[in-house]
């Protein structure tokens, strides 16, 4: 069942609307369920709920571990410190639509279905587009973007865009790291990016063994063909001896059509994502502060008004959950 809260204003007991109120609600819930069932958002974001006006995500660094001290040696003091932190504020989203008395009086079902179905499609499409835009703007190299008058950012907790070539350390230990690569998709590039993600380090320079298992790509035929050619056969077709393909059966592929309209011009991005790291370390996070609430009331013109409102906060925290390839200006994995 979709998570929609209905509230009623005055005047809804009018006979002309009374018998149609439940069918309209059923239409809204049905459309919501359809979009939720095919949503990409839970596959790329860690979906959470929130009871606060904003959520602050604070990480602690790892400890260095024991040291050899010899016989009778003192205990060396180890410790940890606060790492980078990120605050995600919730934004309110609103829209409304109306159903006229005449439409209800004269409806033959089809007339009445069109308006609420279209509105719910628009509502959930907006959520999907917003999620895709968060990733797309980061790929373009944009730290911020606006929708209407409201500003949003693509920065992780370290103050860099979630995809960057110069992610630093909260402790200052070790060299900067990259999860932004220029290489187009290929079987070799897939292997190399996975290897580099396995070697991502924490703020103390310790290898984390990030384990990507999801490939995320836009809706583009040649790229889909290349991906499934690389991972979809148990033998390696490009070798003379038809050797075993160790990539076979190891990947989940997510094709994200809404990503197409936010990609950098001339680039064909592809992402590797570790869903477990994303969940445990809060990589890409979507907080639903207030689920979709629909208020139904009679307006001054006697139209039935449906007011839709929700609050959510979206942001990036720990960049290591994901890496992207195919982006101009990224690191060349083979140089």
Closest CA to 253 of 278, 227, 233, 275: 227
163 — pLDDT class (breaks 50, 70, 90): very high
pLDDT > 90 fraction of the chain, expressed in percent and rounded = 51
Residue 115 pLDDT > 90 = no
Region 307-322: what's the mean pLDDT? Answer: 94
pTM: 0.83
In a domain, 46, yes or no: yes
Joined together, the tokens standing for residue 95 give 């829209």
Joined together, the tokens standing for residue 315 give 């942001």
Which CATH number do you get for residue 51?
Answer: 3.90.1690
Query: Any idea of the CA torsion for 277, 280, 282, 288, to the nearest 10 degrees?
Result: 120
Three-class SS of residue 203? coil
In a domain, 67, yes or no: no
Cα 3 from chain centroid?
A: 19
In a domain, 135, yes or no: yes
- pLDDT attached to residue 234: 45
Query: Any idea of the CA torsion for 138, 142, 143, 145, to the nearest 10 degrees?
Result: -100
Joined together, the tokens standing for residue 126 give 């907006």
Number of domains in the chain: 1
Range of the domain at 39: 5-61+86-325
- pLDDT attached to residue 59: 58
Highest mean pLDDT among 19-23, 249-253, 255-259: 255-259
In a domain, 241, yes or no: yes
Mind listing the pLDDT tens digit for each residue in 214-239? 999 999 999 999 999 898 754 454 44
In a domain, 31, yes or no: yes
Region 95-124: what's the mean pLDDT? Answer: 73
C-alpha to C-alpha distance for 211 and 181, rounded to whole angstroms: 18
Region 140-156: what's the mean pLDDT? Answer: 95
What is each CA distance from 189 to 49, 141, 196, 234, 320, in whole angstroms?
A: 36, 22, 10, 18, 18
- pLDDT attached to residue 110: 45
60 — pLDDT class (breaks 50, 70, 90): low
137 — pLDDT class (breaks 50, 70, 90): very high
In a domain, 72, yes or no: no
254, 43 Cβ separation under 8 angstroms:
yes
In a domain, 20, yes or no: yes
In a domain, 330, yes or no: no
Mind listing the pLDDT tens digit for each residue in 70-105? 676 777 766 555 557 788 999 999 988 887 777 777
- pLDDT attached to residue 226: 94
C-alpha to C-alpha distance for 246 and 189, rounded to whole angstroms: 14
136 — pLDDT class (breaks 50, 70, 90): very high
CA angle 3, 4, 7 (to 5 degrees): 150
243 — pLDDT class (breaks 50, 70, 90): very low
- pLDDT attached to residue 182: 98
Residue 138 pLDDT > 80 = yes
Average pLDDT of the chain?
83
235, 94 Cβ separation under 8 angstroms:
no
Mind listing the pLDDT tens digit for each residue in 1-43? 346 665 655 555 555 566 666 666 676 777 676 677 788 999 9
């Amino acid at each position: 069942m979709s998570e929609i809260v209905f509230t009623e204003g005055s005047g809804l007991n009018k006979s002309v609307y009374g018998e149609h109120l439940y069918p309209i609600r059923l239409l809204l819930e049905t459309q919501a369920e359809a979009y939720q069932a095919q949503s990409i958002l839970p596959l790329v974001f860690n979906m959470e709920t929130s009871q606060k006006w904003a959520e602050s995500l604070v990480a602690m660094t790892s400890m260095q571990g024991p040291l050899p001290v010899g016989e009778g040696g003192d205990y060396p003091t180890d410790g940890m410190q606060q790492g980078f932190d990120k605050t995600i504020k919730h934004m309110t989203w609103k829209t409304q639509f109306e159903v006229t008395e005449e439409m209800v009086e004269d409806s033959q079902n089809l007339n009445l279905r069109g308006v609420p179905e279209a509105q719910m499609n628009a509502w959930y499409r907006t959520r999907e587009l917003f999620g895709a835009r968060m990733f797309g703007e980061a790929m373009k190299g944009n730290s911020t973007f606006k929708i209407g008058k409201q500003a949003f950012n693509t920065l992780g907790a370290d103050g860099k865009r979630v995809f960057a070539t110069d992610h630093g350390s909260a402790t200052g230990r070790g060299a900067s790291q990259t999860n932004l690569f220029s290489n187009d998709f290929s079987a070799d590039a897939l292997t190399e990016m996975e290897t580099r993600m396995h070697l991502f380090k924490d703020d103390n320079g310790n290898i984390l063994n990030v384990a990507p298992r999801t490939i995320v790509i836009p809706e583009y035929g040649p790229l889909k063909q290349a991906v499934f050619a690389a991972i979809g056969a148990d033998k390696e077709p490009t070798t003379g001896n038809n050797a075993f393909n160790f990539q076979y059966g190891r990947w989940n592929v997510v094709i994200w059509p809404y990503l197409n309209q936010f990609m950098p011009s001339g680039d064909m991005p592809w992402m590797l994502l570790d869903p477990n790291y994303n969940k445990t370390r809060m990589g890409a996070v979507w907080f639903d502060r207030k689920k979709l609430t629909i208020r139904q009331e009679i307006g001054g013109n006697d139209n039935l008004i449906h007011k839709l409102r929700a609050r959510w906060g979206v942001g990036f925290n720990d960049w290591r959950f994901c890496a992207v390839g195919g982006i101009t200006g990224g690191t060349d994995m083979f140089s």
